[in-house]
Amino acid sequence: MVDAAVSGSVAPQLRPQLAPVLKALDSGDADALVVAGLDRITRSLFSWAELVER
């Protein structure tokens, strides 16, 4: 999935394509999330830490 034209500054849970992926990871329906670069997933250190903890 791709969040086209959505900035990495948008909170992960508010991104239209990322939110369902995070739910799939939380529920065990997915095992991993692969991104091209850390700055593509978020620009917030706090949000990044939350994603790593998940």
Convert the pLDDT of each residue in 1-54 to its tens digit.
666 667 667 777 777 888 888 899 999 999 998 888 888 788 888 888 888 887
Asked whether the CA dihedral 23, 28, 30, 35 is positive or negative, the reply is positive
> Can you give the pLDDT at residue 27?
95
> Can you give the pLDDT at residue 48?
87
> Can you give the pLDDT at residue 17?
81
Count other Cβ atoms within 10 Å, centred on residue 42: 22
